[in-house]
Amino acid sequence: MLENGKIIQNNNIAEDIYELKLETDLAYKAKAGQFINIEIPGFFLRRPLSIAMIDGPILTIIYKVVGQGTAALKDIKAGTLSLLGPLGNGFPLLDEARVLIIGGGIGLPPLYELARQYLKKGSEVTVVAGFQTSSQLILEDEFKALGVKLYIATDDGSYGYHGNVLALIDHYKISDDFVLACGPLPMLRAIDKRYERGYYSLEQRMACGVGACMGCVCKGKDGKAYRVCKDGPVFPLGKVEL
Ligand SMILES: Cc1cc2nc3c(=O)[nH]c(=O)nc-3n(C[C@H](O)[C@H](O)[C@H](O)COP(=O)(O)OP(=O)(O)OC[C@H]3O[C@@H](n4cnc5c(N)ncnc54)[C@H](O)[C@@H]3O)c2cc1C
Ligand code: FES
């Protein structure tokens, strides 16, 4: 669905990281783990960004400035943006007594709404969030306010546990075995190796975002091709080659 989103705010919240709040009817259809394709004026291809929070008609997006598109987006402080979405399958909401949510860096935002949905279902939610360094820390207060059990790691030890998320899990002997994850590929590979039950959300360069161009295909372990935009971005652990 193509809709306009009214910019409510677009603020800097950490090093190179911005929080964009959009008022749009798309919010009523959105699920945790889905994304929207945002048209940034002056750029031909839309940019895919995950839905971090859904609050009535407000969608919150948290994005990192990595190139020209996101650099232009950070300077748009008012008006409307053309949005295509909500896209992708989203995370399933299953009957699990305990879920372990693992997020790395800018992979963390879609896991916020997911944590909220699992808490609503009555699951006990543990969140392990890893960052390169403390200046990139996001969503700490928000996760704490939800009431999840929150653990934070930084690669350089500038905040929380010194090390990566899996080392933190070993250190604190976190034994939950149903995992929901999003983050950099090396982290997802390690999770895929260690755990058998759960889902992760993948990122891939995209063009159409709606399953038509085959530009975002990844290879399944069954030899089939999967479109990250349409068949994903959320896949069960063990489903695709990482
Ligand atoms: C389903 C999905 C959800 C996403 N959700 C978020 C999110 O919530 N927050 C966020 O900050 N980013 C998210 N991304 C990544 C985001 O789409 C890219 O960072 C953005 O499109 C880059 O645009 P740009 O014009 O600034 O950079 P470009 O100039 O296009 O590229 C700059 C750099 O970013 C890298 N890059 C570009 N696109 C991607 C991509 N799709 N995946 C990984 N690296 C990329 C390039 O390799 C290059 O190094 C998501 C991507 C996908 C596919
Ligand atoms: S981006 Fe076109 S098929 Fe996925």
> Which residue has the least CA distance to atom 19 on ligand 1?
66
| pLDDT, position 5 | 98
* Ligand 1 site, CB within 6 A: 35, 47-50, 62-64, 66-70, 106, 109, 203-206, 233
Is there an atom of ligand 2 within 6 Å of 233 CB?
Answer: no
| pLDDT, position 138 | 98
Measure 208 CA to ligand 1 centroid, in angstroms: 14
Q: Where are the alpha helices (DSSP H) in 67-108?
A: 68-73
Going along the chain from its start, the domains and CATH numbers come out as: 2-87 (2.40.30.10), 98-201 (3.40.50.80), 204-242 (2.10.240.10)
Structure tokens at 126: 């543990």
Is there an atom of ligand 2 within 6 Å of 163 CB?
Answer: no
Is there an atom of ligand 2 within 6 Å of 45 CB?
Answer: no
Instruction: Yes or no: say if 83 and 30 are a contact pair by the CB < 8 Å rule.
Output: no
| pLDDT, position 151 | 98
In ligand 1, the atom with minimum distance to the C-alpha of 72 is: 26
pTM score, whole prediction: 0.96
In ligand 2, the atom with minimum distance to the C-alpha of 227 is: 4
Structure tokens at 58: 């407000």
Residues of the chain above pLDDT 70, percent:
100
| pLDDT, position 74 | 98
What is the spatial distance between Cα 234 and Cα 32, in angstroms, rounded to a whole number?
10
Q: What is the mean pLDDT of the chain?
A: 97
In ligand 2, the atom with minimum distance to the C-alpha of 207 is: 1
Residues of the chain above pLDDT 90, percent:
100
| pLDDT, position 113 | 98
What is the spatial distance between Cα 236 and Cα 146, in angstroms, rounded to a whole number?
26
Q: What would the pLDDT profile of 58-95 be if each residue is shown by its tens digit?
A: 999 999 999 999 999 999 999 999 999 999 999 999 99
Q: What would the pLDDT profile of 184-211 be if each residue is shown by its tens digit?
A: 999 999 999 999 999 999 999 999 999 9
> Which residue has the least CA distance to atom 32 on ligand 1?
67
Measure 238 CA to ligand 1 centroid, in angstroms: 24
Other Cβ atoms less than 10 A from the Cβ of 177: the count is: 14
